[in-house]
Structure formats: structure tokens, C-alpha cells
Copies of this chain bind each other. A is one copy, B any other.
Amino acid sequence: MRLVVAECQAHYSGRLAAHLPRARRLIVVKADGSVLLHSDGGSYKPLNWMSPPCSMAVREPDDLQKERGVTEVWRVQHSKADDRLDIEIFDVHHDSAHELGVDPGLVKDGVEAHLQRMLAEQIDLVGPGHTLIRREYPTAIGPVDILARDAHGATVAIEIKRRGDIDGVEQLTRYVELLNRDPLLTPVRGVFAAQEIKPQARVLAIDRGFTCLTLNYEEMKGYDDVDSRLF
């Protein structure tokens, strides 16, 4: 990994064209050839970058660039796509290289899968008398998160999201429409369950005749824990 702090200016051309005016920035050149241009603020997203696989060619500035004070020109070219990042280097304030080795990587805990598992275990949150048919019920257009049966024997298709927006409602619509064609399952009701349901999504879901269910993650987890402690 090479770290350079320098006055620089950059142009990106690929899916879009973008320009980065002259300023002092951090330039990170990673072992895989990828390049990041970071400012001293913002979040983790670089101002500009090139993803691997890519390669960098360093060349001398032409006369016009020399006049402008450019000392080096870096061209970072993507190996597969027509994406290119051109960096003009002015004054260099820092330049160092470091061996980092391979990283073992991040270990995460689950979120949505956890919600789905918990709702399957606490299926009566959907309503009294509900029973689970199965999780990840397979259909031609993908698995339905949870398929259940309500107290009256009707089928219930449940779509679970962490954040419920309009896309999730559309997805549920496709599932319910498809499942209702199955004479063994029809009538199928739709339930849209999420930790947070966006207002627009709620309106659309209700318009489509679905039930909205807001999931309280902490509460469900508490129930889960109690459950675990008991057995």
C-alpha cells in the first residue's frame, strides 16, 4: 500500500465524466492496483477512485502541464471496462509504502435473516391462530419469505424487510398474484412486515389489500432470548 499526500487534480471518465479540481488530498494505491482519492471529510466514500482490476501508468507531464506545475501524471485504467482515472500530481507532501499482507476480513452478525427466523418462531405476531407453513417457500419467481395459514385456513404470504419501501410491496404483489393462481393455496393474503415501513409503501400496500406489520426487533429478540433460556 502506497500513501501519498499531494496537491492533485483528477478526471474520471467511464459511466459518467467527472472532474476533481486542484486540492491537497490523500491518494491511496492499494496492492491490487486500486486507487482512492480521499479528502479530509465526508464519509468512507472516496471523492474519486478506481476499482480493481486496474493498472496505473506514470508518465512525465507535457509542456503545458509542466507550465501549470504538474510534476507527474498518473493514468489509472480499468482492465475490463472503459473506465479511466487521470491524476495530475503537483507538490507531494508525503509518500510512503507499507506491506500490509492479506486481511482476515470482517465477521458480521445477521440482520434480516434473523428477523425472518424470529417471525417464523413468533408467527402469531401476524395475528392470533396463525400457523407456519414454511420459510423460504419456493415459487417460480423466487422464494416467499414466510408462508403461513391464518385462523380461518386462508394462506398468508409474508414479505419481510428491514426497511419496507415500495419495492418490497411490488415484490409481495408479484408473489401474492402468483400464489393465488394455485388452487391449493388460494385465497392468499399478503402481509408486509418490516422494522420500519415508509409512508408511501404503507399507502401502496394498503391499496393492494395487504396488511402492514411493523416488527420490533428488540422486543422480538427479547422474546427469543426468553425462549432460549426456557429450553
A133 at interface, CB cutoff 8 A: no
Which residues of B are found within 8 Å of A104, using beta-carbon distances? 20-23
Q: Scan residues 170-225 of chain A and give those whose CB is less than 8 A from a CB of chain B.
A: 170, 200
- Checking B35, B36, B51, B100 against A24 with a beta-carbon cut-off of 8 angstroms, the contacting residue is B100
Q: Scan residues 108-163 of chain A and give those whose CB is less than 8 A from a CB of chain B.
A: 108-111, 141, 162
Which residues of B are found within 8 Å of A170, using beta-carbon distances? 167, 170
Evaluate contact between A17 and B109: CB separation under 8 angstroms.
yes
A68 at interface, CB cutoff 8 A: no
**Known A31-B41, A32-B43, A44-B46: A106·B25 in contact at CB below 8 Å:** no
Docked CA distance A26–B94 (Å) = 15
Q: Which residue of B lies closest to A41 (CB)?
A: B32
Q: Which residue of B lies closest to A19 (CB)?
A: B107
- Checking B16, B30, B43 against A51 with a beta-carbon cut-off of 8 angstroms, the contacting residue is B43
**Known A16-B109, A23-B104, A98-B26: A41·B52 in contact at CB below 8 Å:** yes
Evaluate contact between B51 and A44: CB separation under 8 angstroms.
yes
* Interface 0/1 of A1-43, CB less than 8 Å to B: 1010100000000011111111111101011101110111111
What's the minimum C-beta distance from A94 to chain B, rounded to whole angstroms?
Answer: 6
9 closest A-B pairs by beta carbon, nearest first, are A34-B43, A39-B103, A40-B100, A17-B109, A31-B40, A21-B104, A44-B49, A43-B51, A19-B107
15 interchain pairs (CB within 8 A)?
A: A3-B3, A3-B5, A20-B105, A22-B104, A30-B41, A31-B40, A31-B41, A32-B43, A34-B41, A34-B42, A39-B103, A39-B105, A42-B52, A94-B98, A96-B96
Partner-B contacts on A (CB < 8 A): 1, 3, 5, 15-26, 28, 30-32, 34-36, 38-52, 93-94, 96, 98-111, 141, 162, 167, 170, 200
